[in-house]
Structure 1
Amino acid sequence: MMRAILPTRALVPIAGLWRVTACMAGAALFLSACGATTGGPGVTPGPASPVVGAPPEPAVLGVEMSPERLAFTPPHLEGMDLVRVGVLLPFSGASAALRSEAGHLLRAAELALFERGIENVVLLPKDTEGTARGAEAAAEAAIADGADMIIGPLLAAEVRAVSGPARRSNIPVISFSTDTSVAGGGVYLLSFPPEEEVRRVVSYTAALGADRFAIVAPATPYGQLVSQAYRSAAAEFGGTVTAEEVYSGGVDSMSQAARRLARAGIGSLEVGRALAMTGEDWRPTDSGAFQVVMLPAGGDDLRMLAPSMLFADIDPLLVKFVGTGLWRNPDSAREPALANGWFAGPDAEMRARFETAYEIAFSEQPSRLAGLGYDAASLAVVMAASEGGIDRAVIEDPNGFLGVDGLFRLRADGTVERGLALYTIRRGQFEVLDPAPVRFGPDSMAVDVEPGES
């Protein structure tokens, strides 16, 4: 049976969440006063009385190496059979964006524990500093504190550095990188890999009869990754990529790439037929060298790239414009050239419950990646409640889990498979064209996830 890792019960008063964070800060003060040689504090439900005021910032102590595992235990949890989870994030990373993301991920992990009233799972936050060296030191510190599992890090170089100490100690790592080269051997990527988004949109268009695909990608590592995934997906579903173009600059480079793509051969429509079409009723035709064009860009780049296709006479009534999750931006929805375009992304309805709970708890909106912290901590809770404890067999459950962003499962090779929805842009809004699946196969028995009530 598939495991639902979102809570189905009503949310409890917010004062309780402040107790969680206050307990975390109190544990930090206790360790500092005692001159502890281990890393950061655990996060557990705190004392019975509420704390008045806004929750403090997460307290993360400096790391001093210890030659033995000291199994950090908060004083009020002495005697309990605890599951300790290292949370390795760039709290003091070089960029403000990294530091902010680390805070969102940690707070979401705290929320996961709080919503369940869990007492036997202790979070051990450690600062990776946003570097490979800092990540390795943070991993060693978490292991010394008795970590049974590691959540994070965020960057591929950090994950690579953490994997050695974790594997030597047989501790699974649920990281947030999208770089598949760091996955495997007990290191898992709980993220939003573009390969999954590409496969979803190719599979849908192929099911409608498309078998000739084109792509115009940026000359970046992301563009190269999407191009490779696009070729693989097209081959998997019986098609081929017949034209590929790359741009390496602004609108001039994009326009040149679009014109080169058009020279591959594009079909045409009779005026009467074109006037009768809306763009919502697209089906692949036999004319032209390609029926679908992938535009893996976002933001201002996408708003320049899409019109370049039109100026090169690539007609969206004939050729379906598709993209990746980078399309999910309000500005993209307002771009006329993208009207009726398709892209894949997580289930927005399932995420809405998490966003509401997070905003109530912390008086701010969660980052796009914050739900990953929630799901990772929820996995720890699922395993803590099972007889086997932290177990890779549970992590790799082929039935998967229902999380903040919908259905997902972690494969034995460490990569993630997600059940994504297919979206279209209509009248300046994102609409679901094909819903996200709630199970990976007919034999899976999904557990319905009811939204919590505040």
Structure 2
Amino acid sequence: MFNLLGSARKGARAVLAIAAAAALSACDIDLSQVSGGGAKSNGGAVEVALLVPYGSATPGDDGLARALENAARLAAADLGEGKVNITVYRTAGQASTAASVATQAVAAGADVILGPLRSDAANAAAVAVAGTDVNVVAFSNNTSIAGGNLFVIGNTFDNIASRLMGYAGAQGRSRVVVVYPQTPVGQIGRSAIVKATSGTNVQVVGDGAFEFSEQGIISAVPRIANTVKETGATAIMLTSDSTGALPLLAQLLPEQGVSPAVTKYIGLTRWDVPAQTLSLPGIQGGWFALPDPTPVAQFNNRYRSAHGDAAHPLAGLAYDGIAAFGALASKKLAVSRGNLTQSSGFKGVNGVFRFKADGTNERALAIAQVTNNQVQIIDPAPKSFGFGGF
């Protein structure tokens, strides 16, 4: 644990903690105005079982597990004593282990399970405790596993695509070609985009599928460029990220005459991670969606102050989960399905979010534009549901 040095730093950390607590309450709850006392409807703190991949053979999983635990404990500390108790269970990144420890957690008195990380483990954990009244809030963004007692808290392609297509339609970018790899993830991304056009004036006018290999991308680019030109597309939606096809596409498509100055490039993934992505030629002037940068920056500062290193990009999901449970606890509400899906939602380090009855979620996102290799927010994230398209 990072040791604070001097009273000045203690004061700064206290300010961060107070700001975090105020920002991370439920939308209609101000934690700073809530007195102590019982948390659940039946009294006492909410007992949270945190399932994280300690002991996994996958490189990086132990570090991610530690980041998730650190973030969850920061949220519990910000909520104050007596709101949330956290017990950590090691899944080893295995679905069978996740199912086993989920059962153990319920037997030990858990009110809710936060985690596991990946969809197979999350599904196994939810199935294992399906006969109880304990809900599983998984870090996954895979909507195909959601439903019943399983909620996903990760930012989903459906949510991102909906925000981007709504904004594109409002800006007159109504004819879209979807560019995606012929992989399961690519197909999910494409489906999310097509689904998101419903209720908007946006049409998917062409497909830009490609084989997911270097040669496959290179071979497909002339065909994709012709599709853009022949359909009169005003935008192209790229589902790939910077570790996939995005760098090649952002270089080769402009070379084939798909000018970013004429055809808007829009990304289903984050273009600011890593930062070098922002220098790609094809995405200059392009759009992507991201959480409200202000609470994210506050959380990152809080995490670094507490632990001496940068927060993992997924760590905020653990904070969000604990913040939601704690907000319910502050109103003496149990972490039931009905309370989790309250329409007002919650405020987390990734902005406003709420769980839907089908186990998926809605998150308030900002629209960013890449301008001179920098991120420029051109349409801020809504601060509550009921505004800005929510």
TM-score range, shorter chain: 0.7 to 0.9
Gap change, CA 1:109 and 1:167, over 3 Å in 2: same
| 2:157 alignment counterpart | 194
2:95 equivalent in structure 1:
132
**Conserved? CA contact 1:211–1:234, under 8 Å:** no
Match of 2:346 in 1: 401
Cα offset for 1:360? 0.7
Task: State the distance in 1 between where 2:54 and 2:363 align.
Answer: 28
Q: Which residue identity does 1:104 align to in structure 2?
A: A
Q: TM-score, structure 2 length as denominator?
A: 0.85
Q: CA deviation at 1:265?
A: 5.5
Task: Report how far residue 189 of structure 1 moved.
Answer: 0.6
Change (3 A) 1:387 1:213: same
Match of 1:360 in 2: 305
> Of 233, 242, 246, which residue of structure 2 is paired with 1:299?
242
C-alpha distance in 2 between matches for 1:420 and 1:263: 32
Q: Secondary structure at the match of 1:201?
A: helix
- Residues 180 and 439 of structure 1: is their aligned pair in 2 closer, same or farther, counting only changes over 3 Å? same
The C-alpha deviation readout for 1:44-87, integer Å capped at 9, x for no partner, is xxxxxxxxxxxxxxxxxxxxxxxxxxxxxxxxxxxx83321111
Alignment partners' CA distance in 1, 2:303 and 2:116: 21
> Which AA in structure 2 matches 1:295?
L
**How many residue pairs are counted as aligned between the two chains?**
352
Tell me if the contact between 1:198 and 1:229 (Cα under 8 Å) persists in the aligned partners. yes
Query: Residue 227 of structure 2 aligns to which amino acid in structure 1?
Result: A
Letter in 2 for 1:327: W
Specify every segment of 5 or more residues in structure 1 that has no aligned partner in the other structure, as ranges: 1-8, 15-79, 268-287, 447-454
Q: 2:203 aligns with which of 240, 247, 256?
A: 240
Give secondary structure in 1 for the equivalent of 2:60: helix
> Do the aligned residues in 2 keep the contact of 1:86 with 1:150 (CA within 8 Å)?
yes
Secondary structure class of the residue paired with 1:168: coil
User: In the alignment, what sits opposite 2:254?
Assistant: 310
Structure 2 CA distance for aligned equivalents of residues 172 and 265 of structure 1? 45
3-state SS in 1 of match to 2:201: coil
**2:263 partner letter:** V
Note if contact 1:194-1:324 (Cα within 8 Å) is conserved in structure 2. yes
Residues 79-118 of structure 1: matches in 2 within 5 Å?
81-118=44-81
The answer on 1:217 being equivalent to 2:180 is yes
After superposing the two structures, state which structure 1 stretch, 419-428 or 292-301, moved more. 292-301
Letter in 1 for 2:146: A
Query: Which amino acid in 2 is paired with 1:382?
Result: A
Quick check: 1:290 aligned with 2:253?
no
Per-residue deviation, 1:312: 1.6
CA contact (8 A) 1:419 1:438 kept: yes
Q: Deviations over 1:103-150 (max 9, x none)?
A: 111110000111232235211111111111000111011011100111
Query: Which moves more between the two structures, 103-112 or 378-387?
Result: 378-387
Which deviations, in whole Å up to 9, do the C-alpha atoms of 1:182-225 show, x marking residues without a partner? 11112111111122111211111111223211011112222111
Change (3 A) 1:207 1:99: same
Pairwise CA RMSD: 2.2
Whether the 8 Å CA contact 2:382–2:388 is kept in 1: the answer is: no
What is the rounded CA distance, in whole Å, between the counterparts of 1:231 and 1:138 in structure 2? 38
Distance in 2, Cα, partners of 1:255 & 1:108: 41
Does the CA contact (< 8 Å) of 1:216 and 1:258 recur in 2?
no
**Residue 331 of structure 1, aligned match among 276, 290, 297:** 276
Q: By how many angstroms is 1:331 displaced?
A: 1.3
Q: Which runs of 5+ in 2 are unaligned?
A: 1-10, 17-42
Question: Partners of 2:85 and 2:364 in 1: how far apart?
Answer: 30
Q: Which structure's CA Rg is the greater one?
A: 1
The one-letter amino acid paired with 1:410 is: F
Show the counterpart of 2:336: 391
| Contact 2:261 2:285 (C-alpha < 8 Å) held by counterparts | no
Name the residue aligned to 2:295: 350
Paired position in structure 1 for 2:379: 434
Find the counterpart in structure 2 of residue 49 from structure 1: none
Aligned residue for 1:450?
none
**Cα distance in 1 for residues equivalent to 2:325 and 2:212:** 44
Contact 2:265/2:282 (8 A) holds in 1: no
Check the 8 A contact 1:324/1:345 in 2, yes or no.
Answer: no
Measure, in 1, the Cα distance between the counterparts of 2:305 and 2:132: 38
Shift of 1:421: 0.3
| Fraction of identical pairs, as percent | 30
What is aligned with 2:14?
12
Distance in 1 of aligned mates of 2:82 and 2:332? 16
Q: State the distance in 2 between where 1:108 and 1:248 align.
A: 38
- Residues 119/10 of structure 1: CA separation in 2 closer, same or farther (3 Å cut): farther
Return the alpha-carbon distance in structure 1 between the equivalents of residues 110 and 172 of structure 2. 50
Please name the residue that 2:3 is paired with. none
For the 8 Å contact 2:165–2:202, the answer to whether it is kept is no
Counterpart of 1:349, as a letter, is T
Question: Quick one: distance in 2 between partners of 1:319 and 1:432?
Answer: 20
Q: Secondary structure at the match of 2:14?
A: coil
User: Structure 1: how far apart are the matches of 2:277 and 2:300?
Assistant: 22
Letter in 1 for 2:65: A
Letter in 2 for 1:196: N
CA distance in 1, matches of 2:148, 2:333: 19
CA deviations on 1:283-336 (whole Å, 9 max, x unpaired) are: xxxxx5311101122225312111111122112222110002332221111112
Distance verdict in 2 for CA 1:335–1:120, change over 3 Å: closer
Q: Equivalent residue of 1:359, what SS?
A: helix
Task: Determine the structure 2 residue equivalent to 1:380.
Answer: 325
